[in-house]
């Protein structure tokens, strides 16, 4: 992962990393939080110039499956965890971007 990111950052302008924050439906930390925080720590050490933001990832897998169903993707493709993860990551990023738009909108209305 580290080498892939270094190569990607050599060709692309990345201003921040958005990482899914695993929470349980009741809002408490999930058991995956330690792994995610370890990943975030590694990002911070290897790429200290790029900020990392965490974004609540609750329900993104459910939303990904719903999106796949609505788009007519086959049952076999819907069982592909990598595809579910990719769609979930897109949903996380869309949520973060929408929150930034809302924040900018609020700041211009002040």
Tell me what pLDDT residue 63 has: 93
CATH number attached to the domain at 1-58: 3.30.420.140
Domain locations along the chain: 1-58, 59-110
Residue 84: other Cβ atoms inside 10 A: 19
Q: Is 24 helix (H, G, I), strand (E, B) or coil?
A: coil
Q: Three-class SS string for 7-22? A: HHHHHCCCCCEEEEEC
Per-residue pLDDT of the chain (110 residues; tens, 9 = 90+): 789 999 999 999 999 999 999 999 898 889 999 999 999 999 999 999 999 999 999 989 889 999 999 999 888 988 898 999 999 999 999 999 999 999 888 888 76
């Amino acid at each position: 992962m580290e080498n892939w990111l270094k190569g990607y950052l050599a060709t692309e302008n990345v201003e921040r990393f958005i990482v899914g924050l695993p929470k349980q439906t009741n809002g408490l930390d999930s058991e995956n939080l330690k792994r995610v925080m370890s990943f975030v720590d590694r990002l911070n050490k290897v790429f200290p110039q790029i900020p990392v933001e965490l974004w609540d990832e609750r329900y993104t897998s459910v939303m990904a499956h719903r999106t796949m169903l609505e788009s007519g993707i086959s049952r076999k493709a819907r069982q592909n965890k990598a595809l579910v993860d990719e769609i979930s990551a897109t949903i996380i990023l869309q949520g973060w971007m929408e929150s930034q738009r809302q924040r900018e909108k609020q700041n211009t209305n002040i």
